[in-house]
């Protein structure tokens, strides 16, 4: 038997217990202010000793203010009854005090806190420590916080100009200039942003630099919240560092500003975090714009731009997650705990109306129900999408070093993130099973079992499933013209540039060949002289045949040189889009006859080369339908099969994945050419993705038999 527990039960109360049982008292440093929430007055109270905010109705707050640590419950009940005109008993006041005691509301000295801790049993202390163990859940690892209020007070004293009108105006001007730079350079910034956050082709040094930059950014972000709170008179009693799914995060306790600040001031405190990131992004953009390319300063500024700016606004000011945008929405709407209340309402409604479970739907005013349902659905989809991309981001980091094993940390992080959601789903399935078990068992009579088996057999035998074959593809233009110089010359003018639409016969370039043009002029002069000789010979009837022969020879030479001169004007043989990059680099260069100048491609329709494994080739038919899914695009495109290769071909290196198959023969691939219409020009040459070719409809039984038949045919034969 536990001797400690025997002694605790057998011995009389220690005098220290009497010390703890003194009347409760309100924290002397408490701050409070009345606010309107959902049309009703609420008193927000910030308790420094508890480092938390509490909400009371005006009448309850009036009662709380009578607790001074001296008055007994009987005295408080008597005074409060006289103040309100209603009769309150000492027992009801005691129950009210006990309720607040459970929420750690009352003020306690350090000695009283130690005594309360001693009064807990070892088992209770162990449970409490386990609940607050910062290493118990890797989803959020919290480190000890510190009190930044003295530092913020000193900092604000020297930098209060940050909230002056001239500094705000200067900041807005820099924001506008940064936005202009972003728009004018979006072709490279947008492309690099996408490549940056897919995090492909990065080294361990890049990962470490990203980690450190993110840490610095979140520190500045949270300090901005704290600084704004200090500007409006609120104390900031705690700041700390934590890891959320091993990503750096910084947190700031600005609860007192929620109590003392007005709605406008709370909005400023909330916006301050992203505002500080935009300042960092603007400074980095100016450095990137003004520094020499491919230097450490230039690249470092560009790296900082990728971590702030647009992404910060999209993530933090989006009201669908509990970040800055969520609290902005709460302040503007006057509705607190929107996410929790809307999710609870929708979840309970689905359980009761769809699954017919015995649950109670929380009351929501009729005018708010549709808004709550919409918000809960959008918030859920957005939150789970962000969590999925967090897991995918981890996988992308590992794929840089081990493409074959990148899925392992991705799945591990996903399980860690969605662990609580999976547990909730399991609990819901258990609840649903226990609620419906008796009715389901009673419903399945022998005749109904036979009918259910017949229906199942019918579903398995009906050709409901569309047979399909997936394959990787590479997009190419359906028609491409390689324009070459037919004569040598110097490029004097280019009338086309990359991405420009040209019509058939349009002049795209002009050449100059001075010797050839001189020869042409000389030949024309000689032809003119020869023509005069022919005329003179015809009049004098002397040497006419010789003169005529000379003229015909010179006319042929002039015609040949004229044709060559016309070739100095380069035209496009087809209508399409110029796809040659850096075309204007050719201006001033001398090109030889036959040298390639540019390419024009007809992008109104694209040719997709799909690589199909030899094991699936028998499923491909000429009349089959197909759809293409391009990497990075959510839209799919219908395609038409043009031809199927009769011999295998090696897969394009841009599509092939590096997989070492030891002890197995890799399959051969056959090229299936497809034509896909591209009227809007969304599809570009070189894009890759996955195509799915659809065959005939099959039943599940037929598909299962085919798998078994193919296995026996390949292995058992």
Q: Are 39 and 183 in the same domain?
A: no
User: 253, 195, 207: which is closest to 397 by C-alpha?
Assistant: 207
Q: What is the pLDDT of residue 470?
A: 83
Residue 129 reports pLDDT greater than 50 = no
In a domain, residue 521? The reply is yes
Residue 565 reports pLDDT greater than 80 = no
Residue 6 reports pLDDT greater than 60 = no
For residues 570-576, average pLDDT: 86
Q: Quick check: 254 and 234 in contact, CB under 8 A?
A: yes
Residue 649 reports pLDDT greater than 50 = yes
Summarised one tens digit per residue, pLDDT across range 654-709 is: 665 544 434 445 677 888 888 898 888 888 888 888 888 887 788 888 778 877 77
Q: Are 697 and 639 in the same domain?
A: yes
CATH of the domain at 59: 3.90.930
Q: Quick check: 305 and 288 in contact, CB under 8 A?
A: yes
Specify the range with the lowest mean pLDDT, choosing from 116-125, 237-246, 295-304, 640-649.
116-125
Predicted confidence band at 447 (pLDDT cuts at 50, 70, 90)?
Answer: confident
For residues 142-151, average pLDDT: 82
Average pLDDT, the chain: 79
Residue 374 reports pLDDT greater than 90 = yes
Residue 533 reports pLDDT greater than 90 = no
Residues 6+ apart with CB under 8 A from 228: 254, 257, 268, 269, 272
Report residue 456 as tokens: 């199942």
Range from 49-63, 107-121, 129-143, 398-412 that averages highest in pLDDT: 49-63
Q: Are 201 and 300 in the same domain?
A: yes
Residue 86 reports pLDDT greater than 90 = no
37: number of Cβ within 10 Å: 13
For residues 363-370, average pLDDT: 89
Q: What is the pLDDT of residue 124?
A: 46
In a domain, residue 11? The reply is no
Summarised one tens digit per residue, pLDDT across range 311-363 is: 778 788 888 888 888 888 888 888 888 888 899 999 999 999 998 888 888 98
Q: Are 490 and 561 in the same domain?
A: yes
Print the SS3 string covering 382-412: HHHHHHHHHHHHHHHHHHCCCHHHCHHHHHH
In a domain, residue 443? The reply is no
Residue 10 reports pLDDT greater than 50 = no
Q: What is the pLDDT of residue 5?
A: 38
Residue 170 reports pLDDT greater than 90 = yes
Summarised one tens digit per residue, pLDDT across range 11-29 is: 444 444 444 456 788 888 8
In a domain, residue 278? The reply is yes
For 615, the enclosing helix (H) or strand (E) is none
Q: Are 356 and 268 in the same domain?
A: no
For residues 478-502, average pLDDT: 84
User: 226, 335, 325: which is closest to 271 by C-alpha?
Assistant: 325
The number of folded domains in the chain is 5
Distance of CA 611 to the CA centre of its chain: 31
Q: What is the pLDDT of residue 403?
A: 58
Q: Are 171 and 309 in the same domain?
A: yes
Q: Quick check: 607 and 476 in contact, CB under 8 A?
A: yes
Start-to-end CA span in the chain (Å): 72
Higher-confidence residue: 45 or 557?
45
In a domain, residue 77? The reply is yes
Q: Quick check: 612 and 493 in contact, CB under 8 A?
A: no
Q: Are 425 and 513 in the same domain?
A: no
For 8, the enclosing helix (H) or strand (E) is helix 3-10
Predicted confidence band at 110 (pLDDT cuts at 50, 70, 90)?
Answer: low
Q: What CA–CA distance (Å, rounded) separates 51 from 388?
A: 33
Residue with tokens 């220690």: 14
Range from 166-180, 230-244, 313-327 that averages highest in pLDDT: 166-180
Residue 211 reports pLDDT greater than 80 = no
Residue 383 reports pLDDT greater than 50 = yes
Residue 275 reports pLDDT greater than 90 = yes
Q: Are 615 and 507 in the same domain?
A: no
Q: What is the pLDDT of residue 191?
A: 65
**Domain that includes residue 270, residue range:** 140-334
Q: What CA–CA distance (Å, rounded) separates 654 from 107?
A: 68
Q: What is the pLDDT of residue 93?
A: 86
Quickly list H helices, 141-262. 149-159, 165-184, 186-198, 204-231, 255-260
Where b means 16+ CB within 10 Å and e means fewer, 79-116 reads ebeeeeeeebeeeebbebbeebeeeebbbbeeeeeebe
In a domain, residue 456? The reply is no
Quickly list H helices, 350-501. 366-399, 407-417, 419-443, 446-461
Q: Are 265 and 278 in the same domain?
A: yes
CATH of the domain at 671: 2.40.30.170
Q: What is the pLDDT of residue 167?
A: 93
Residue 4 reports pLDDT greater than 50 = no
Domain finish residue from 334, 360, 388 = 334
Predicted confidence band at 494 (pLDDT cuts at 50, 70, 90)?
Answer: confident
Q: What is the pLDDT of residue 174?
A: 92
Q: What CA–CA distance (Å, rounded) separates 269 from 234?
A: 10
Q: Quick check: 218 and 211 in contact, CB under 8 A?
A: no
In a domain, residue 3? The reply is no
Summarised one tens digit per residue, pLDDT across range 89-98 is: 888 888 888 8
In this prediction the pTM is 0.59
Q: Are 293 and 147 in the same domain?
A: yes
Q: Are 38 and 97 in the same domain?
A: yes
Q: Are 320 and 353 in the same domain?
A: no
Q: What is the pLDDT of residue 212?
A: 82
In Å, what is the CA distance from 35 to each residue of 133, 216, 236, 367, 715?
A: 36, 35, 21, 22, 77
Specify the range with the lowest mean pLDDT, choosing from 128-137, 158-167, 554-563, 639-648.
128-137
For residues 262-291, average pLDDT: 90
For residues 389-394, average pLDDT: 75
For residues 209-232, average pLDDT: 87
For residues 121-143, average pLDDT: 49
Report residue 100 as tokens: 């607040």
Domain finish residue from 334, 352, 386 = 334
Higher-confidence residue: 188 or 339?
339
Range from 22-31, 117-126, 189-198, 337-346 that averages highest in pLDDT: 337-346
Q: What is the pLDDT of residue 192?
A: 67
Residue with tokens 């500024």: 301
Range from 33-37, 128-132, 221-225, 252-256 that averages highest in pLDDT: 221-225
Q: What CA–CA distance (Å, rounded) separates 229 from 237?
A: 11
In a domain, residue 446? The reply is no
Residues 6+ apart with CB under 8 A from 242: 140, 141, 142, 143, 249, 250, 251
Residue 504 reports pLDDT greater than 60 = yes
For residues 554-577, average pLDDT: 81
Residues 6+ apart with CB under 8 A from 222: 239, 250, 251, 252, 273
In Å, what is the CA distance from 612 to each residue of 277, 585, 649, 674?
A: 49, 40, 10, 12
Q: Quick check: 66 and 79 in contact, CB under 8 A?
A: yes
Domain finish residue from 591, 622, 647 = 591
Helix 544-566 × helix 514-540 angle, to 10°: 160
């Amino acid at each position: 038997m536990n001797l400690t527990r025997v002694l605790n039960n057998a011995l009389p109360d220690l005098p220290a217990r009497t010390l703890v049982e003194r009347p409760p008292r309100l924290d002397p440093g408490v701050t409070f202010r009345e606010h309107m929430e959902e049309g009703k007055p609420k008193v927000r109270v910030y308790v420094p000793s508890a480092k938390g905010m509490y909400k009371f109705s005006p009448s309850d707050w009036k009662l709380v203010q009578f607790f001074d640590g001296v008055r007994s419950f009987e005295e408080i009940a008597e005074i409060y009854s006289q103040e309100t005109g209603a009769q309150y008993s000492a027992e009801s006041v005691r129950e009210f005090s006990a309720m607040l005691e459970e929420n750690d509301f009352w003020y306690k000295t350090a000695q009283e806190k130690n005594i309360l801790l001693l009064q807990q049993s070892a088992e209770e202390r162990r449970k409490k420590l386990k609940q607050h163990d910062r290493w118990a859940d890797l989803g959020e690892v919290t480190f000890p916080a510190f009190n930044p209020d003295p530092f913020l007070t000193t900092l604000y004293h020297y930098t209060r100009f940050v909230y002056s009108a001239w500094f705000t105006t200067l900041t807005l001007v820099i924001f506008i200039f940064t936005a202009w730079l972003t728009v004018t350079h979006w072709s490279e910034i947008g492309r690099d942003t996408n490549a940056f956050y897919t995090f492909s082709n990065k080294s361990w040094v890049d990962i470490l630099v990203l980690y450190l930059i993110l840490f610095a950014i979140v520190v500045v972000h949270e300090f901005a919240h704290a600084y704004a709170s200090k500007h409006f008179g609120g104390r900031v009693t705690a700041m700390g560092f934590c890891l959320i799914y091993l990503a750096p995060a910084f947190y700031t306790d600005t609860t007192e500003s929620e109590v003392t600040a007005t709605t406008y001031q709370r909005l400023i405190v909330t916006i301050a975090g992203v505002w500080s990131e935009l300042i960092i992004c603007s400074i980095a953009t100016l450095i990137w714009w003004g520094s020499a390319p491919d230097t450490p300063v230039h690249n470092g500024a560009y790296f900082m731009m990728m971590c702030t700016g647009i992404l910060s606004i999209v993530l933090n000011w989006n009201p669908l997650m509990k970040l800055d945008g969520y609290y902005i929405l709460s302040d503007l709407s006057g509705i607190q705990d929107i996410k929790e209340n809307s999710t609870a309402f929708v979840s309970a409604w689905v359980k009761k109306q769809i699954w017919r479970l015995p649950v109670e739907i929380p009351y929501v005013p009729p005018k708010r129900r549709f808004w709550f349902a919409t918000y809960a659905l959008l918030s859920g989809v957005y939150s789970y999408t962000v969590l999925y991309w967090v897991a995918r981001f981890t996988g992308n980091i590992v794929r840089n070093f081990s493409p074959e094993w990148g899925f392992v940390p991705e799945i591990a992080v996903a399980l860690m993130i969605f662990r609580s959601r999976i547990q909730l789903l399991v609990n819901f399935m258990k609840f649903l099973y226990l609620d419906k078990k008796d009715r389901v068992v009673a419903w399945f009579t022998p005749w109904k079992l036979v009918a259910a088996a017949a229906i199942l057999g019918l579903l398995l035998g009906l050709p409901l499933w569309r047979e399909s074959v997936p394959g990787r593809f590479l997009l190419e233009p359906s028609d491409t013209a390689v324009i070459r110089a037919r004569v040598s010359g110097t490029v004097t003018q280019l009338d086309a540039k990359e991405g420009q639409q040209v019509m058939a016969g349009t002049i795209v370039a002009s050449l100059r060949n001075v010797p050839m043009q001189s020869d042409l002029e000389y030949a024309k002069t000689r032809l003119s002289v020869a023509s005069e000789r022919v005329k003179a010979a015809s009049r004098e009837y002397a040497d006419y045949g010789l003169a005529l022969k000379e003229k015909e020879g010179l006319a042929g030479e002039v015609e040949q040189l004229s044709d060559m001169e016309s070739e100095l004007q380069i035209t496009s043989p087809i209508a399409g889009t110029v796809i040659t990059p850096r075309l204007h680099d050719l201006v001033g260069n001398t090109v030889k006859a036959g040298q390639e100048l540019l390419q024009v491609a007809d992008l109104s329709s694209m040719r997709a080369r799909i690589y199909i494994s030899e094991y699936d080739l028998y499923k491909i038919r000429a009349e089959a339908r197909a759809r293409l899914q391009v990497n990075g695009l959510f839209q799919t495109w219908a395609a038409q099969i043009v031809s199927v290769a009769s011999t295998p071909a090696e897969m394009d290196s841009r599509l092939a994945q590096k997989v070492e198959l030891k002890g197995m023969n890799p399959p051969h691939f056959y090229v299936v050419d497809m034509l896909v219409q591209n009227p809007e020009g969304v599809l570009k040459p070189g894009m890759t993705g996955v195509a799915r070719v659809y065959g005939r409809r099959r039943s599940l039984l037929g598909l299962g038999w085919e798998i078994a038949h193919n296995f026996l045919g390949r292995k058992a034969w």
